[in-house]
């Protein structure tokens, strides 16, 4: 895309955003990249280039040996807790609270809490949260003591459930597990009501979450993709803005608020 084509595309994005009243924002790991959190599939720095997802993100691996997985997720929770929301997170929160729209709903694949700490109130987590825990056996919730390792460690014994004695596990959705139905139904509902979908920082590879933009496409509503590079979802996009979340979203808010 030439510079002039990009400028024209951005102008059209701004116009769509000005006209929209009900917005569904769909975010992935790239949303938090400007906060210093690694994405999953970058071929050099992605999370899955450093660990085997089947070894660290599957229920079978957990049942076989939970200690390495618990240690890894507790360290990741600490990294996420120390990260700060970036300008993109704060821009979405501003949009939610503005008089410019009826609603802005966020559906995120991220397991950090940066949307919430950035000020967003209406956030649906499709893949759970690093800060939510429950018993593997009886599903009793466990209150996070926020005692995170400062550095990566190889093994850490999970706490035991006070109700049944089972191991406490991270409240994230692992490979092979079903997405939470309440959250999925809410995402579908918001897409059904939206007159604009904004996709930010997701590769569009992980299913079934990646099918949500296709639902918007099938409805015929405009779709704006904000990403530094083309993704699997670019084919569904009405318009693309080649930039990071922290670059594009504040700029968009400045324009539509002017």
Is 105 an active-site residue? no
Among left, alpha and beta (phi > 0; psi -120 to 50; other), residue 158 is beta
What span, in angstroms and rounded, lies between the C-alpha atoms of 236 and 238?
A: 7
What span, in angstroms and rounded, lies between the C-alpha atoms of 16 and 128?
A: 31
Strands of the sheet containing 123-125, edge to edge, are: 123-125, 103-108, 22-27, 196-200, 223-227, 239-242
What span, in angstroms and rounded, lies between the C-alpha atoms of 41 and 176?
A: 18
138 assigned ligand-binding residue: yes
218 assigned ligand-binding residue: no
107 assigned ligand-binding residue: no
Catalytic residue among 89, 115, 125, 127: 127
112 assigned ligand-binding residue: yes
49 assigned ligand-binding residue: no
203 assigned ligand-binding residue: yes
82 assigned ligand-binding residue: no
C-alpha pair distances (Å), 98 with each of 78, 150, 161, 191, 257: 32, 38, 43, 20, 9
Cα of 96 vs its chain's centroid, Å: 17
Say if residue 125 is exposed, middle or buried (CB neighbours under 10 Å; 0-12, 13-18, 19+).
buried
Q: Which residues pair with 175 in a beta bridge?
A: 58
76 assigned ligand-binding residue: yes
Which segments are annotated as binding site? 73, 76, 109-112, 135, 138, 161, 164, 201-203, 245
Which residues are annotated binding-site positions for substrate?
73, 76
Q: Annotated binding site for NAD(+), which residues?
A: 109-112, 201-203, 245
* Binding residue numbers for Zn(2+): 135, 138, 161, 164
Active site residues: 127
């Amino acid at each position: 895309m030439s510079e002039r084509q990009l400028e024209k595309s951005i102008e059209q994005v701004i116009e769509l955003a000005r006209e929209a009243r009900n917005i569904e924002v769909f975010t992935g790991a790239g949303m938090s990249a400007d906060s210093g959190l690694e994405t999953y599939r970058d071929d050099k720095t992605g999370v899955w280039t450093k660990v085997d997802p089947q070894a660290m993100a599957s229920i079978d691996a957990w049942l076989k040996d939970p200690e390495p997985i618990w240690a890894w997720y507790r360290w990741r929770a600490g990294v996420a807790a120390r990260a700060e929301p970036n300008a993109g997170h704060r821009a979405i929160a501003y949009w939610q609270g503005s008089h410019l729209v009826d609603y802005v709903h966020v559906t995120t694949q991220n397991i950090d809490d940066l949307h919430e700490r950035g000020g967003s109130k209406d956030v649906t987590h499709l893949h759970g949260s690093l800060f939510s825990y429950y018993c593997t056996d009886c599903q009793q919730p466990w209150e996070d003591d926020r005692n995170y390792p400062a550095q990566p460690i190889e093994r850490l014994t999970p706490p035991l459930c006070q109700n049944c004695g089972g191991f406490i596990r991270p409240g994230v959705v692992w490979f092979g597990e079903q997405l939470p139905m309440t959250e999925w139904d809410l995402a579908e509902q918001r897409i059904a009501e939206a007159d604009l979908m904004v996709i930010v920082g997701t590769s569009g590879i992980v299913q079934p979450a990646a099918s949500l933009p296709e639902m918007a496409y099938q409805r015929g509503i405009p779709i704006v993709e904000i990403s530094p590079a083309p993704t699997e979802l670019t084919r569904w996009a009405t318009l693309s803005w080649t930039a990071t979340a922290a670059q594009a979203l504040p700029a968009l808010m400045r324009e539509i608020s002017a």
